[in-house]
Structure 1
Amino acid sequence: MHRFDYGKEPVKLLTPEIVQMVSCIHEHKGKQELFVQANQDELKTLLEVAMIQSTGASNRIEGIYTTDNRLEELVKQKTTPRNRSEQEIAGYREVLSTIHENYEYIAPRPNLILQLHRDLYSYSKSAVGGNYKNADNIIAETDAEGHRRARFIPVPAFQTQEAMEELCEAFGDAWEADHIDKLLLVPMFILDFLCIHPFNDGNGRMSRLLTLLLLYKAGYIVGKYISMEMLIEKTKETYYEALQASSADWHENGNDYEPFVKYYLGITLKAYHEFENRVEHLKYRTLSKPERVKAVIEQKVGKITKKEILDACPDISKTTVERTLLDLVKSGYIAKVGSGPATGYVRI
């Protein structure tokens, strides 16, 4: 079985590129604390939007969908699930809320991971929640011609409990020793978790929830305000490429964690950049909503899309943004370019 080495393996990751990425995230963490203290009331909007985006994105990655309106109602607990997909969406919201509110008291131990997985299926009649897999699973992929092949064969079912116990013990020891930067330990743990693939279903969603849990425990709470799950969804192909590259020869202890660690550090950096940009926009809250939309456009170099404006101003309605864009086009301040999904706006 794979040997979980969080002592020597992380040392191999200290390349100039990774060290620079880690240093940049450390700097952003320092700013994060100042931003949060100074903008607590305003950040509530970002938190609410990120909850909706995270719940939707993490489930869509696994092929679980509902409408945007239903998603928002489910996350805000204004309705009850109508079908299996909505049951799983509601379960994700439940676990995400638990992590947001109690991360300081949740340790990555097997029994607590099982409890979180149980809660992931708390709205479902499925019996998989809170139990390790009872049959071997295969991570497969389908090529362009529709042929399926095994991309990775995880730990067999009969070894899963032992593997999870060893994983959590080795990780916990390294975490408490605090000799290795936790920004390296977190993605290593997530990769090992995915290679074990301990559940019949929900492994991908659990990996993203555990990512947030561990980052929060390490003091990196950017995922509360910017949906890291959405950033992963937007770079899904790169995510799977990094996962495949880092899982090769995992069973033989010959895998290279670097591609997956670099990917996760990149996502974390992107989240911090977006967080700081959105906090920057908070200072425009004294302006009218159309003026804030115009301010966002002024800061953008090149083409900007309606979705980018909505993301930057989550408290401004789609109708208001569309009306403002129409007025700015009529006034000659901006020009509309492209059509359909490629529609954007540029300053004249």
Structure 2
Amino acid sequence: MRTFDYTRIPQGLMQPDIVNMVSAIHEYKGKQELYLEAKADVLETMCEIARIQSTDASNRIEGIFTSNKRLNDLMAQKTEPKSRNEAEIAGYRDVLATIHNSYDYIDVKPGVILQLHRNLYRHTQSGFAGNWKDSDNAIVEFDAQGNQTVRFKPLPAIATPDAVAKLCEAYDKALDKGTYDPLLLACLFTFDFICIHPFNDGNGRMSRLLTLLLLYRSGYLVGKYVSIEMEIEATRETYYEALQQSSPGWSEEENNYVPIVRYLLGVILAAYHDFEDRVQGLTVSKLTKAERIEAVFSRKVGKVTKADIQAECPDISQTTVERTLKSLLDSGKITKVGSGRATGYVAKM
């Protein structure tokens, strides 16, 4: 039976780059309150944008999506779900809102995890919502010919309830002891939760929601304003590689946590970096709104979407963004690429 003990950090985890990333995130956390005092109205807009992006990205990783208009209407609760995909998107929206609004009052306990999972499927007819898996499962992959290979075999269903209970107990014990940084504990907990794979469905989305919950409860609030899930979606191949590299030997407690911890810390650090850039752009920039939109192209390589611009400039209306993009197109400074949801703009060199 797999055991969990976070009072002793796994051997070899404290690599120099991991220590440096933890220190850098600490520095950002120290400046976090200054950022949060910047402009309350703009920060609220950033929060709403991040919620939409997080809900969209976390579901897209699992192949669940809808149109931009339907997504925005669902997030604003202007409409009811019309498909299974939209029902699951609405469920993620609800759980994410609960975590954003009440993280201080949500303990990381098995019963709470079950409740969050039940709410994730509250708009569906799912019979497994809020229940541990009732049959053994496996993480599989398919090759180009459609052949299936078992990449990782999680704990059997019968062992799941006890494993999740011990996982939560180990996390609480390590947090109370205070020997290791909550950032590291959150990464270890998240990965072990994925390896237990406690549900018939929704394990990936639950792991990302729990990551946010653990970060918020430890004072790392960046995910409220910059979508961590979107960063994971943008680097999903690296995400899957890190999971694959860290999973061999997990059942025997011989796995290597370094790849997944390095990856998750990198995602959190990138989010804090973006947060600082956006807040500083709001508070100290003397550029006009049009100049700030144009400046986005100088900071990004490759295609830039309207969503990218609105995430970096949350105080600028969509009308102003569209008007500025048209002006940049007319002047030949950018070109339009793609169509529909894939529409983007590329700066001419």
Pairwise same-fold verdict (TM > 0.5): yes
2:182, 2:218 within 8 Å by CA — same for their partners in 1? yes
Could you say which residue in structure 1 is the equivalent of 2:347? 345
Whole-Å Cα distance in 2 between the matches of residues 287 and 342 of structure 1? 23
Could you say which residue in structure 2 is the equivalent of 1:201? 201
Could you say which residue in structure 1 is the equivalent of 2:24? 24
1:22-171 alignment to 2 at 5 Å? 22-171=22-171
Q: How far did 1:54 drift?
A: 0.4
Q: How far did 1:324 drift?
A: 1.6
Q: Which moved more, 1:5-14 or 1:45-54?
A: 5-14
Whole-Å Cα distance in 2 between the matches of residues 138 and 331 of structure 1? 54
Could you say which residue in structure 2 is the equivalent of 1:271? 271
- Under a length normalisation based on structure 2, what TM-score does the superposition of the two structures give? 0.92
1:176-206 per-residue CA deviation (whole Å, 9 max, x = no partner) reads 1111111111010011101110000110000
1:10, 1:184 within 8 Å by CA — same for their partners in 2? no
- Given the superposition, is the C-alpha separation of residues 136 and 302 from structure 1 closer, same or farther in structure 2, using an over 3 Å criterion? closer
Letter in 1 for 2:66: T
1:199-231 per-residue CA deviation (whole Å, 9 max, x = no partner) reads 001100000000000000111000000010010
Q: How far did 1:159 drift?
A: 0.6
Letter in 2 for 1:174: A
How much identity, in percent, do the aligned residues show?
54
Whole-Å Cα distance in 2 between the matches of residues 335 and 86 of structure 1? 34
Whole-Å Cα distance in 2 between the matches of residues 127 and 11 of structure 1? 41
Q: How far did 1:327 drift?
A: 1.9
State the SS of the aligned residue for 2:7.
Answer: coil
Letter in 2 for 1:4: F
Q: How far did 1:293 drift?
A: 1.7
Could you say which residue in structure 2 is the equivalent of 1:249? 249
- Given the superposition, is the C-alpha separation of residues 155 and 301 from structure 1 closer, same or farther in structure 2, using an over 3 Å criterion? closer
Whole-Å Cα distance in 2 between the matches of residues 136 and 216 of structure 1? 32
Whole-Å Cα distance in 1 between the matches of residues 338 and 63 of structure 2? 27
State the SS of the aligned residue for 1:17.
Answer: helix
Whole-Å Cα distance in 1 between the matches of residues 61 and 338 of structure 2? 27
State the SS of the aligned residue for 2:262.
Answer: helix
What is the aligned residue count? 345
1:225-304 alignment to 2 at 5 Å? 225-283=225-283, 289-297=289-297, 300=299
State the SS of the aligned residue for 2:37.
Answer: helix
2:154, 2:195 within 8 Å by CA — same for their partners in 1? yes
2:305, 2:344 within 8 Å by CA — same for their partners in 1? no
Q: How far did 1:20 drift?
A: 0.4
Letter in 1 for 2:299: K
Alignment RMSD (CA, Å): 2.1
Could you say which residue in structure 2 is the equivalent of 1:336? 335
Structure 2: 5+ residue runs without aligned partners?
none
- Given the superposition, is the C-alpha separation of residues 302 and 115 from structure 1 closer, same or farther in structure 2, using an over 3 Å criterion? closer
Could you say which residue in structure 2 is the equivalent of 1:323? 323
Q: Which moved more, 1:280-289 or 1:145-154?
A: 280-289
Structure 1: 5+ residue runs without aligned partners?
none
2:6, 2:170 within 8 Å by CA — same for their partners in 1? yes
Whole-Å Cα distance in 1 between the matches of residues 119 and 2 of structure 2? 28
**Residue 188 of structure 1 pairs with residue 192 of structure 2:** no
State the SS of the aligned residue for 2:141.
Answer: strand
Q: How far did 1:292 drift?
A: 3.2
1:337, 1:345 within 8 Å by CA — same for their partners in 2? no
1:269-327 per-residue CA deviation (whole Å, 9 max, x = no partner) reads 01001111111222378865434323444x53766624443331245455533432332
State the SS of the aligned residue for 1:85.
Answer: helix
2:36, 2:43 within 8 Å by CA — same for their partners in 1? yes
Could you say which residue in structure 2 is the equivalent of 1:305? 304
Whole-Å Cα distance in 1 between the matches of residues 295 and 269 of structure 2? 24
- Under a length normalisation based on structure 1, what TM-score does the superposition of the two structures give? 0.93
1:10, 1:185 within 8 Å by CA — same for their partners in 2? no
Letter in 2 for 1:66: T
State the SS of the aligned residue for 1:38.
Answer: coil
2:338, 2:344 within 8 Å by CA — same for their partners in 1? yes
Letter in 2 for 1:258: V
Q: How far did 1:61 drift?
A: 0.7
Q: Which moved more, 1:206-215 or 1:105-114?
A: 105-114
Whole-Å Cα distance in 2 between the matches of residues 273 and 233 of structure 1? 17
